[in-house]
Chain A
Amino acid sequence: MINKFVASAEAALADIPDGATVMLGGFGNAGMPVELIDALIARGAKELTIVNNNAGNADHGLAALIGAGRVKKIICSFPRQADSWHFDKAYRSGQLELELVPQGTLAERIRAAGAGVGAFYTPTAFGTDLAKGKETRRIGDRDYVLEYPIHADYALIKAERADRWGNLTYRKTARQFGPIMAAAAKCTVAQVRETVELGEIDPEAVVTPGIFVHRVVRIAAMRKVA
């Protein structure tokens, strides 16, 4: 019997090694898997490469992971925010490497990894500093930049509902990177508010099919972080 439910966040992340590339869902606080990140901090893995749209807010979630000194490199589109002090400090002190990627290119590189695409040409960033040193090509009447997929060892995402096969639904704008990160990682761990029996999720409404999900942890009362 397939059962992807795992008893705790700690158990779900017990094998994350030092040096792993970890995708974290979430856009700002919406969709950020805070309890999984807490467990990742407790697990103690270091020298991590993190993929997220941002670089953490205030003192929780990704910001706390950076504050704990566990992140070697971050791949993101928008690190600088009013409350990104943990990132700012680590970046300015030279402890943290930043790969800045336009947001749509970030999403497409993640999608490409999950879809088995070797690389793709995008018009985004052509002629800008973020395309420096990259291969370009003129196709038709437009110029494009060659971009490569971003693969990950783990994806930690937050969803709303799951069954034991790992089928997921999301809630509102907490969805964003979840579905594409789930497909891009070798091991995807989803924290969900609710678990249900097989068949209870309308198959027409499944957003992430269970093939992309490996472990599911129910966190009934998710911490408010806004």
Chain B
Amino acid sequence: MKKIDRKQLAARVARDIPEGAYINLGIGLPTLVADFLPKGREIILHSENGVLGFGPRPPKGEEDEDLIHAGKEPVTLLAGGSFFHHADSFAMVRGRHLDYCILGAFQVSAQGDLANWHTGAPDAIPAVGGAMDLAVGAKNVLVMMEHLTKDGKSKIVERCSYPLTGARCVTRIYTDLAVIDVKPDGLHLVEILAGDLSFVELQRVNGVPLKYRAAA
């Protein structure tokens, strides 16, 4: 399998974000998407800590400790950007004002259940942040992850074994192998991203049945 790399995956996700979208990028892999948003499209980034319309990291030496995103990295503010308090920030999230959020995941189920906040291990310190709010609030909840665990198991599963972040919330999954839509009747393959991967082989590693209707 020729898996695509993190940058290729970020670029593939970015291609689907349309002009005018309000979007929240989760910490980790999803943050990379910002670097690949198509030039010429106005796309407005939201962050939980009360900012809309932030831009790239400033040059070294120009960081401002009062201007960060939720991943606590320094950012800049674009012309037209705005600041607001935390309850307003989550009114935007929970109130279905965000067009997209992109989240990482440990597992996604065939029904679109998302597990991404806690492994459930007894010695693990749980931390949830804004993930549960984003999962129920954004109009489109996109997951971006490696398709397989380190030991080769599918992270797309019949039922999540890890604690849920949200039930039936994921609308589309982007992995280093494929793009898959979550629909009421199951998972639909949109596109294979790993160059040499056949549908049959993807189906074999995926573990959960995929529907695929080749473009007419």
Spell out A's residues near B (CB within 8 Å).
27-31, 53, 77-81, 87-88, 91-92, 98, 100-105, 107-108, 110-111, 122-130, 170-180, 207, 224-226
**Residues on B with beta carbons closer than 8 Å to the beta carbon of A224:** 65
| Residue in A80, A170, A180 whose CB lies within 8 Å of B126 | A80
A176 touches B167 (CB 8 A): no
Say whether A103 contacts B127, CB under 8 Å: no
- The one of B49, B94, B131 in contact with A30, judged by C-beta atoms closer than 8 angstroms, is B49
- CB-based nearest B residue for A82: B72
Cβ contact within 8 Å between B166 and A175 = no
Given contacts A127-B166, A173-B50, A176-B89, contact A122 B94 (CB under 8 A): yes
Which partner residue on chain A sits nearest B69 by CB separation? A173
Complex partner residue of B129 from A31, A78, A110, CB under 8 angstroms = A78
With beta carbons under 8 angstroms apart, the residue of A79, A87, A125, A180 that contacts B85 is A180
B51 CB contacts on chain A under 8 angstroms: 172-173
Of the candidates A98, A107, A174, the one whose C-beta lies within 8 Å of that of B90 is A107
Residue contact A175 to B93, C-beta cutoff 8 Å: no
Q: Chain B's interface: helix, strand, loop or mixed, by majority?
A: loop
- Also in contact, A176 and B128, with CB within 8 A (given A103-B90, A103-B133, A124-B94): no
CB-based contact B127/A78 at 8 Å: yes
Residues of the B chain whose Cβ atoms lie less than 8 Å from the Cβ of A176: 49-50, 85-86, 89
> Which chain A positions have C-beta within 8 A of B133?
102-105, 124
**How far apart sit A83 and B56, CA to CA, in the bound complex (Å)?**
24
Known: A108-B87, A123-B94, A224-B65. Contact between A100 and B126, CB under 8 A? Answer: yes
Is residue B66 within 8 Å, beta carbon to beta carbon, of the partner chain? yes
Q: Which residues of A have CB within 8 Å of B83?
A: 170, 172-173, 175
- In the complex, chain B residues 18-66 whose Cβ is within 8 Å of any chain A Cβ: 47-51, 63-66
Q: List 23 A-B contacts (CB under 8 A).
A: A27-B50, A28-B72, A31-B66, A79-B126, A80-B127, A100-B127, A102-B130, A102-B133, A103-B90, A103-B130, A104-B137, A107-B90, A108-B94, A110-B87, A124-B132, A124-B133, A129-B163, A172-B66, A173-B68, A173-B69, A175-B83, A176-B86, A180-B86
Q: Would you call B128 and A130 a contact (CB within 8 A)?
A: yes
A171 to B87, CA, bound (A): 17
Flag if A77 contacts B127 (CB, 8 Å).
Answer: yes
